[in-house]
Structure 1
Amino acid sequence: MEGNSRRRASLKKAFVFLLVMCIMLSQMSFAFAYQPDKGDGTFTNPVMYADYPDPSMIRVGNYFYLATSTFVNSPGLVICRSEDMVNWEIVGHCIDRLSDQYNMDNGNTKYASGCFAPSIAYKDGTFYVVVNMNDGTGARIYYSKDVSGTWKYYNLGASYFDPCIFIDTDGTPYLAYGGAWENQIRMIQLKPDLSGTVGSSRTILSYNNVEGSHLVKVDGTYYLFNAVPARSLVCSRSKNLWGPYGETTTLCTAGKGGHQGGIVDLPDGTYWGYLHQDDGAVGRMTRICPITWKNGWPMFGREGYLGQVENTYRKPIQNKEIKVPQASDEFNGGSLGIQWMWNHNPDNTKWSLTGSSLRLEATTASDFWKARNSLTQKGQGPISTGTIKIDCSNMKPSDIGGLGMLGDPRGYIAVTGSPRKIIMTEEEVIKGTVTNITSDILYFRIQMDFNTKKATFYWKDDTRNWQQLGTAITMGFDWQYGTFQGEQYAIMNFSPTASTGYMDVDWFRLNDEPGPNAPEPDPISAFSKIEAENFYTQYGTQTEDNPDDDGRNIGYIENGDYLVFKNVDFGNGATGFQARAGSASEGGNIELRLDSLNGTLIGTCPVPGTGGWKTWTEVSCSVSKVTGKHDLYVKFTGNSGYLMNLDWFKFTADNIPTGKLGDLNDDGSIDSLDLVLIKKHLLGDTIENTSLADLDASGTVDAIDFALMKQYLLGIITTFPGEK
């Protein structure tokens, strides 16, 4: 009996262990988020591939703490924690709920408002976070002994734009602040417990367009860091706390790493810098780099690369656990995952956790933009996929429930109550519809690919596989009329009329692979016109509007900057290169390299001065014949200062058709005989004039050329892409 009991106990323990392992493995299978830690002692910037703007960072003991902006999201003011500045996790929010102005009453929205540009500090066992509230109530200083616990706040009774808490070495606290339109930074002393101000403020720095202050004291010198928005991070110094801060130097330009940031000390006495960089639709991401002291200045970057925040470094602190911010949620606990924030304040009577799902009752709203109770979390790059499983059996006829992408632009894929159908929208315009939906259990998925800047929308049920619905949305970022945040996933359920319906969300899962193993992008034909702004990754450049070409171009290019285009298909061989560029300086060179920044140099194309950055000219050069698929590195070289702007480029081949494109048998007409010749080629037969069959100028003859020939013969098209 005893032996049997022991065997049963042993089997029970083994079963429990296996069950736990299965649960852990099942969670691991969908919990991937971007991972900057490469596992070999190095990391890749950004340290979080998502919108963590206006960073403020401190170290307390063995932990680093990061506070960043959250605007109209509720709860607000997210706090993250790390042991090495690379591996971060979300640990709390300072603000449980914004003021009632953010309730979306009568459809009133306050996007781009809320709270932003916080500053975090620590004194005598208490954490402090200051932020200026954009609801008319002025600045608040939140405080807590535990960053993961409840925060209380002091109201300072006045507005202090982009405020920064500084604790001097004698324990006296101060507040530095100022907006870019003021062209100055001021400072005021705080009470010892930071509950209010003491005396009046004084101007400590006069400098054009500065904001986003961070103040640090190192070896008796005060260093004041300020952003010049979208341009640079500057530093001013003084031996006196109140200034004058007469000396100012530029630490980093926006294209070389970003703006708005500061420095933080490590346990070994060295310093690292942090700042955010504007990166389009994903938002403004936090990056870090070592600090090199030069003539008493904390220069961003390592020796030989000062002023540059590179993509890869050795980690500042080694041998710490790999962590990523929380993302997936099974909704089977008593609270929402800490990663979730509501779009504006939620109506707490309209949502609940049932123990196995998130129940969202339909809120009354005219559209997604004005829909209360949309539950959001940050979109992650470089590629991420958010998926939900829902039960729509209790939705009412007017309800619209599903998964959205909140930003500018915005879109969603959702099911309607009755008649039950699935719709995909962009900016509230329906782009795709599926009717005759009978299943109560549905799955919705949005893929955000920040490499291509495209978001695609999918659906399925338990009887069929994933199907794309509608067209891909080109993701963007608009600080003035958008959310002032990167694109976000949003679980939503709303109705244009009052409704008692609800949707149960079984789970949300972030399915992207870890950063280093992100899926390869689709091949790009080297012979098509490649827009410069459609890079896979870049260093040192900036994307800007180009009204002349109804699009965008790459600008602010300096010596050593580069663009990377993954999986470029050179087909049977490229021998030439063409580009559209402009330069208000003396110009520079475009180096073309394969597979790495120092890879095989296949050609160098000079770009002359054209008299203006948007005064375009087409340049060309020969390249050593290259075939097959490669990663293309477009590297810029020249003298100091800005070199050029780049709009687009493409490669050319020697096998230029001598006859009429499409006339494969050279009989003077394009007809069904030419279609048969392409078909034979695809089936393995050889044809004489393959160059005349390359109708899209891709460098290869394939099914696309066959389809183009059919369209031409049917009168759908009158010219071939290769003729343009």
Structure 2
Amino acid sequence: MVMKSFLLVALITSNLTLVFSQNRVPVFRQDVPLDSIRLSDPFILADKATSTYYMTGTGGMMWKSKDLKKWAGPSVVVKTDPESWMGKNPMIWAAELHQYQGKYYYFATFTNREVKIDTVGENVIERRACHVLVSDRAEGPYVPMKDPEYLPANKPTLDGTLWVDKDGKPYMVYCYEWLQNMNGTIEKIELKPDLSGTIGEGKLLFRASDSPWSREKSNGKIGPNKVTDGPYVFHTGTGRLGMLWTSWIYDVYTQGVAYSKSGTLDGPWIQENEPITPPNYGHGMLFRTLNGTWLMSVHSHKKSNGRTVRVPHLIEVDLSGDKLIVGKPFTH
């Protein structure tokens, strides 16, 4: 029953993403309030060079704002290669924007539904992987770089993010999806200095089953959930290394946090006992506003006309101490 429930969630997500594929011509709108936007996995870059906030997420689109109150968009900012492994019309999930060494990078998950890489039980697994695109401007367009692949073609990976560790090297932190390994993981892989490809192989950081707060019921037994989703790495004000990540408590999307004992990506990662956000909020990231305030961007789920929609939200956070403290909703 639990397996079927998660397959249903995956199917709904896939269908929604098809609606927001990069080949769809969006209707551009101005002065749109944040809570009127429908967007999964919202990620916000506060770009000092243009004094503009750029928001991406699932679907390959971009929204822009000067004040975080009213947004303009969506616009298409991705140009993939139809001859690459992604195919002619890939689904795009959980896109992130990172400014690094004078350029802007687009970390995202691409899915080619025409290619099946594995079948595990009832799970037919499509070709899905994290990839990095580049642009000279925050608003794109973003195009692929040299390496045709970043992660193994026979593994479904998702939700890649960027982190420069204490060794000064850039890494992609990503999820190896539970659909194949049945116990989702969060892993790291070293990136080339210009982020144009990867070096070596991925390394396990922690498993979904390490979580003390996630839950699912399978064959009448309650245990840890299988899902790892949306890793985001950060430093607290005291320099402590933390990671946001999301799973489920039964059918409720929920976000937790872990802290690295060593202060590096290698961990060990110690999971907090309780979720860090209220129920039904997840896939969070942190950013500093142009005025210096720290905020968390997340999305929630709600039903609308019989469909599940995702709504982005901003929440105040306190990073000054040894732990991330989540505050009240941001009201500008």
Map residues 498-647 of structure 1 onto 2, 5 A cutoff: none
Aligned equivalent of 1:158: 151
RMSD, aligned CA: 3.0
Residue 263 of structure 1 is matched in structure 2 by: 286
Kindly indicate whether the alpha-carbon contact (under 8 Å) linking 1:54 and 1:275 is maintained by their aligned counterparts in 2. yes
1:193 matched to 2:216: no
**Does residue 84 in structure 1 map to residue 67 in structure 2?**
yes
Change in CA separation of 1:168 and 1:266 when aligned onto 2, cut-off 3 Å: farther
Q: Give the CA deviation at 1:275.
A: 0.3
User: How far off its partner does 1:170 sit?
Assistant: 7.3
Name 2:245's counterpart in structure 1.
226
Cα displacement (A) at 1:223:
1.7
> How far, CA to CA, are the matches of 1:168 and 1:64 in structure 2?
26
Q: CA deviation at 1:137?
A: 7.3
Letter aligned with residue 161 of structure 1: L
Give the superposition deviation at 1:167.
3.5
- Contact 2:240/2:322 (CA < 8 Å) preserved in 1? no
- Residue 271 of structure 1 and its aligned partner are, at CA, apart by 1.1
* Alignment-derived partner of residue 55 in structure 1: 42
| Counterpart contact for 1:189–1:198, Cα < 8 Å | yes
Query: TM-score of the superposition, structure 2-length normalised?
Result: 0.66
1:292-341, CA deviations, whole angstroms, 9 ceiling, x for partnerless residues? 35862223223xxxxxxx4xx431xxxxxxxxxxxxxxxxxxxxxxxxxx
**Secondary structure at 1:231 match in 2:** strand
> 2:149 is aligned with what amino acid?
L
CA distance in 1, matches of 2:241, 2:45: 16
* Cα offset, 1:128, TM superposition: 0.5
- Give the letter aligned to residue 314 of structure 1: T
Specify whether residues 158 and 83 from structure 1 end up closer, same or farther in structure 2 by C-alpha distance, changes over 3 A only.
same
TM-score (norm 1): 0.32
Residue identity matched to 2:142: W
Query: What are the within-5 Å matches in structure 2 for residues 91-170 of structure 1?
Result: 92-96=75-79, 99=82, 114-135=91-112, 136=127, 138-154=129-145, 155-159=148-152, 160-168=157-165
**CA distance in structure 2 between the partners assigned to 1:270 and 1:234 by the alignment:** 22
**Alpha carbons 1:237, 1:247 under 8 Å: kept:** yes
Give per-residue Cα distances to partners, 1:644-699, cap 9 Å, x unaligned: xxxxxxxxxxxxxxxxxxxxxxxxxxxxxxxxxxxxxxxxxxxxxxxxxxxxxxxx
Q: 1:118 to 1:294 in 2, by over 3 A?
A: same
**Matches of 2:30 and 2:63, distance apart in 1:** 15
- Counterpart amino acid of residue 303 in structure 2: G
Work out which of the residue numbers 255, 273, 276 in structure 2 matches 1:251: 276
Residue 96 of structure 2 aligns to a residue whose secondary structure is strand
| Deviation digits for residues 506-562 of structure 1 (CA, Å, limit 9, x no counterpart) | xxxxxxxxxxxxxxxxxxxxxxxxxxxxxxxxxxxxxxxxxxxxxxxxxxxxxxxxx
User: 1:550-577 CA deviation, whole Å, 9 max, x = no partner?
Assistant: xxxxxxxxxxxxxxxxxxxxxxxxxxxx
Q: Match of 2:93, SS?
A: strand
Instruction: Give the CA deviation at 1:166.
Output: 2.1
**Aligned residue type for 1:195:** S
Q: Give the CA deviation at 1:196.
A: 1.1
The amino acid of 2:61's aligned partner reads: V
More strand by share: 2
Deviations 1:453-484 (A, max 9, x none): xxxxxxxxxxxxxxxxxxxxxxxxxxxxxxxx
Equivalent position SS for 2:159:
coil
User: Any conservation in 2 of the 1:63–1:83 contact (CA below 8 Å)?
Assistant: yes
AA in 1 matched with 2:246 = A
Matched letter for residue 232 of structure 1: T
How many Å separate the matches in 2 of 1:195 and 1:227? 27
Q: Structure 1: state its 5+ residue gaps.
A: 1-30, 37-46, 71-76, 104-109, 303-309, 316-724
Gaps of 5+ in 2: 1-27, 113-126, 210-226
1:309-388 maps to which residues of 2 (within 5 A)?
310=329, 313-315=330-332
What is the CA-CA distance between 1:247 and the residue it aligns to? Answer: 3.2
Q: Which has the larger radius of gyration?
A: 1
CA contact (8 A) 1:34 1:49 kept: no
Which residue number corresponds to residue 586 of structure 1?
none
Partner deviation per Cα, 1:352-391 (whole Å, 9 max, x = no partner): xxxxxxxxxxxxxxxxxxxxxxxxxxxxxxxxxxxxxxxx
1:579 — aligned with what?
A: none
- Is the 1:137–1:157 Cα contact (8 Å) retained in structure 2? no
For 1:205 and 1:157, how far apart are their aligned partners in 2?
Answer: 20
Structure 1 residue ranges, 4+ long, deviating more than 4 angstroms after superposition: 31-35, 100-103, 168-171
